[in-house]
């Protein structure tokens, strides 16, 4: 089963009939989990399905020993409101699927255990004291984006050595994006490229108008930073890059799957599934402060060769041989 069909099956429930994991949960106990998602229900549905499947494999079944309280929020105001609401429901643990959600939950509670889904540099963000010893009531998965983003710039330059100006697309209302941006001048100088920031924040922002206006900078490529407001617009950003003959790269494989040129980073699906593992540990008695924050160890390079052909771009063999997947 390919990856798209796998996620679709999770959402549709065809895989959810998997047998319960060995080591059943405490008999008679019904656990209550809150999940705060910075995005719409339709956009996040595939990944919520992955999370549910991960919990089921660990022995948690909705309607039997599990209740999931899901809240979706597309603005910072709604994130704060839903975070407060979830913490008043008496949940056993609450999951923030990205940095903005985790920060909203931290402001809402200092006692209920919080699991970070994919936080960007949680130490710098003030979510945890350290990766090895989180302290407080928060743990989960983290990605140190600055190092990976520098590698993405190198890949853009390798794929198209004439690149001299890169548009960096991000949501500057997310503090993590500003920290990534601040880390980029040294590698940009080393690669002899100039960076131009493109700020995309609220869902109501006119994405097409913002991107079209950015063409005044005469870019050669797009570097698409990861934020919920950006992630769920991958397809539109990829279409724009293709129509303007721009090379492009982002963090998750969903970008080249949507028509972008490349991605370099870990599997978002696996990070979501790992959140279920943290929830399981906490419900079995572990304290968040005792569970080290994990970082992904595997980073995949995915290249969309169909997009490269449309761009008239010949990807150097030195890049192709390092690719983990080539989308034909």
By the 8 A CB rule, do 183 and 152 touch? no
Query: Is 94 part of a structural domain of the chain?
Result: yes
Q: Interhelix angle for 76-87 vs 99-108, to 10°?
A: 50
Query: Do 168 and 67 sit in the same domain of this protein?
Result: no
Structure tokens at 207: 């994405």
Q: Are residues 54 and 192 in the same domain?
A: no
Q: Are residues 153 and 245 located together in one domain of the fold?
A: yes
Confidence of residue 171 (pLDDT cuts 50, 70, 90): confident
User: How distant is the alpha carbon of residue 215 from its chain centre?
Assistant: 27
In terms of domains, do 58 and 29 share one?
A: yes
Is the confidence at residue 205, as pLDDT, over 70?
no
Would residue 24 count as lying in a domain? yes
How would DSSP label each residue in 193-212? -EEEEEE--STTS-HHHHHH
Residues 70 and 35: their CA atoms lie apart, in Å, by: 5
Same domain, 272 and 238: no
Say yes or no: 282 and 304 in one domain: no
In a domain? residue 246: yes
What's the pLDDT band for 217 if we cut at 50, 70, 90?
A: confident
Q: Clarify whether residues 29 and 138 are in a common domain.
A: yes
Instruction: Give the model confidence (pLDDT) of 92-145 as tens digits.
Output: 999 998 888 999 999 999 999 999 998 888 998 899 999 999 999 999 999 877
102 and 183 co-located in one domain: no
- 156, 238: one domain: yes
Confidence of residue 12 (pLDDT cuts 50, 70, 90): very low
CB proximity list for 12: less than 8 A, separation 6 or greater: none
Give a yes or no: residue 249 inside a domain: yes
b/e per residue 155-183 (b: at least 16 CB within 10 A): bbbebbeebeebbbbbbebbbbbeebbeb
Binned at pLDDT 50, 70 and 90, residue 21 comes out as very low
pLDDT at 22 over 50: no
Q: Report the CATH number that the domain containing residue 200 is assigned in CATH.
A: 3.40.50.2300
Query: Has residue 213 been placed in a domain?
Result: yes
Tokens 């999931």 sit on residue: 68
pLDDT > 70 in the chain, percent: 91
Same domain? 277 vs 313 = no
Rounded to 5°, angle at Cα 87 from 86 and 92: 95
Average pLDDT over residues 65-72: 96
Sheet holding 194-199, edge to edge: 194-199, 165-170, 221-224, 247-250, 262-265, 300-304, 325-327
10 pLDDT exceeds 60?
no
Whether 101 is covered by a domain: the verdict is yes
Residue 230 sits in the same domain as residue 283: no
**Confidence grade of residue 6 (pLDDT, cut at 50, 70, 90):** very low
- Tell me the residue range of the domain where 308 lies: 145-266+300-327
For the chain, the domain total comes to 2
Q: Is residue 295 part of a domain?
A: no
pLDDT value for 203: 63
Residues 222 and 279 in one domain: no
């Amino acid at each position: 089963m390919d990856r798209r069909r796998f996620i679709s099956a999770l959402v549709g429930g065809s895989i959810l009939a998997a047998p319960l994991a060995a080591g059943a949960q405490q008999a008679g106990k019904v656990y209550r989990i809150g999940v705060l998602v910075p995005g719409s229900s339709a956009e996040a549905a595939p990944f919520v399905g992955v999370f549910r499947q991960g919990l089921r494999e660990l022995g948690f079944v909705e309607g039997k020993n599990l209740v999931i309280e899901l809240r979706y929020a597309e603005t910072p105001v709604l994130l704060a409101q839903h975070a407060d609401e979830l913490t008043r429901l008496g949940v056993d643990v609450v999951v923030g699927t990205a940095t903005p959600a985790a920060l909203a939950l931290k402001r809402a509670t200092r006692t209920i255990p919080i699991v970070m889904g994919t936080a960007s540099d949680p130490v710098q963000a003030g979510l945890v004291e350290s990766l090895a010893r989180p302290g407080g009531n928060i743990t989960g998965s983290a990605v140190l984006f600055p190092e990976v983003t520098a590698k993405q710039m190198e890949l853009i330059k390798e794929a198209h050595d004439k690149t001299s100006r890169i548009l960096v697309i991000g949501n500057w209302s997310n503090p993590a994006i500003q920290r990534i941006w601040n880390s980029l001048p040294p590698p940009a100088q080393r690669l002899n490229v100039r960076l131009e920031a493109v700020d995309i924040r609220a869902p109501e922002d006119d994405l097409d108008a913002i991107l079209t206006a950015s063409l005044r900078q005469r870019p050669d490529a797009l570097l698409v930073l990861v934020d919920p407001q950006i992630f769920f617009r991958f397809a539109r950003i990829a279409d724009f890059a293709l129509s303007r003959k721009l090379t492009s790269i982002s963090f998750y494989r969903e970008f080249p799957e949507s028509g972008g040129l490349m991605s370099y980073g870990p599997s978002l699906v696996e990070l979501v599934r790992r959140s279920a593992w943290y929830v399981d540990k906490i419900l079995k008695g572990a304290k968040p402060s005792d569970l080290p924050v994990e970082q992904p160890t595997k980073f995949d390079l995915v290249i969309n060769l169909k997009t490269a052909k449309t761009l008239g771009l010949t990807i150097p063999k030195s890049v192709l041989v390092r690719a983990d997947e080539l989308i034909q």
